[in-house]
Structure 1
Amino acid sequence: MSNGSSDGSDSRRRPAYGEYATAEEQRARIQQPAITEALDHGLPPGAAVAPSEQPVAAASVRETPARTVDRLITAVLLGIGFVNVVVSVQSFFDVTSTFTRAMETMGIPGEFTNVSGPTGAAVWGAVAGISMVIGYVLTALVSWRRVRGGRRAWWIPLVGAVITYVVVTACLTVPVMADPAFQEYVRTMAS
């Protein structure tokens, strides 16, 4: 009586993960990596594996289409972020005109006058600009390290942008909230 079909092939399913290995074979594989390599290549436990038969290095196996797409998306997001930083940073050093236009657009009477002092637009605009540059540099470094380590990095530029914009918005809120015209507008709206 044969376990195979009439054409001589074996109809049993292939063993997976050593399920048909004897206890001795399992112990030998766990304790001696050389035996594991030999058995992986279908050789008897004492045989040496030729260098040409050794497994492919893990670094070359990891290069998959998904990893390439991740790298591409990460690079595109960092590129967009770089352009945004270059365009935005210079405007943070002259936010007084931006705040004046914003107040006119919102219908707030008066002119933005909180330019100097510890809560002034000159100080906090510069802090916002520097924060944006530092946020971008940190985001790019973390992204680069993750890509270099073979881990997914596409989400790092997105999280970095959100965190950076929260900090920048907080910096730009300080001079607006301390402006006398804006404070008067808030008081009249509250009453």
Structure 2
Amino acid sequence: MSDPRPQYGEYATPEEQSRRAGREIPPPVVHVPPPAPEPVPIPYPAAPVRPARPVDRIVAIGLLAYGLWNVITTVLTFLDPASLITTMMQMLGISGDFSHYAEAKTWGMVGSILLIVGWVLTAAWTVMRLRRGKVAWWVPLVGGIVFVTLSSACMLIAFYGDPAVISYIDGLAKKP
């Protein structure tokens, strides 16, 4: 049987090889990472000073409050669209009775939801702009115009869908 040990030191460590060869044992190589550089303090940028706009804040909040009052009263009116459309018909001198109650109720609900969602979005955007120090008075104004127009269009759809209104408009068109 043969001896399983290596004959010529192929498995010897570098220290053992140096010792058998009669050479000096090299010092062990130890990797020492360089010291971390001192952190350089980053100058903290000063927050920009927001310009004081108390008039803008008062006007924006006042417009939001007026818009909320308008939304509440309009939603209450839109929940009974038959009386609203009947009043519109009487004001325009349209004879006949309003008869599309289900359609008007649906469009009244759509208009009410548009107004409520529109006011919430407008208020959120206004508050966001006020907190960032930006001019915000125009946001409730534009929001009111957009969402009142959309909700009014819903009621006009119900109004112009009534047969009495259609016959009135048809009669106007036939007059010379």
Per the TM alignment, residue 155 of structure 1 is displaced from its structure 2 partner at its CA by: 0.2
Residue 91 of structure 2: which of 88, 105, 123 is its match? 105
Counterpart of 2:137 in structure 1 is 154
Per the TM alignment, residue 84 of structure 1 is displaced from its structure 2 partner at its CA by: 1.1
Larger radius of gyration: 2
- SS of 1:110's partner is coil
Is 2:156 the partner of 1:173? Answer: yes
Contact 2:64 2:123 in 1 (8 A): yes
Distance 1:62 1:123 in 2: 46
Distance 2:137 2:101 in 1: 39
2:147 is matched by which residue type in structure 1?
A: T
Distance 1:110 1:82 in 2: 35
Per the TM alignment, residue 70 of structure 1 is displaced from its structure 2 partner at its CA by: 0.9
For this pair of structures, how many residues does the alignment match?
133
- SS of 1:150's partner is coil
Counterpart of 2:50 in structure 1 is 62
Is 2:171 the partner of 1:185? Answer: no
Contact 2:82 2:98 in 1 (8 A): yes
Per the TM alignment, residue 86 of structure 1 is displaced from its structure 2 partner at its CA by: 1.4
TM-score of the two chains, using structure 2 as the length reference: 0.71
Per the TM alignment, residue 85 of structure 1 is displaced from its structure 2 partner at its CA by: 1.1
- SS of 1:126's partner is helix
Per the TM alignment, residue 92 of structure 1 is displaced from its structure 2 partner at its CA by: 0.6
Distance 1:101 1:188 in 2: 20
Counterpart of 1:5 in structure 2 is none
Unaligned runs of 5+ in 1: 1-32, 35-53
- SS of 2:101's partner is coil
When the two chains are superposed, the root-mean-square deviation of aligned CA atoms in Å is 1.8
Counterpart of 1:6 in structure 2 is none
Is 2:63 the partner of 1:80? Answer: no
Larger relative contact order, structure 1 or 2 (CA cutoff 8 Å, min sep 6): 2
TM-score of the two chains, using structure 1 as the length reference: 0.65
Per the TM alignment, residue 63 of structure 1 is displaced from its structure 2 partner at its CA by: 3.9
Identity level (%): 38
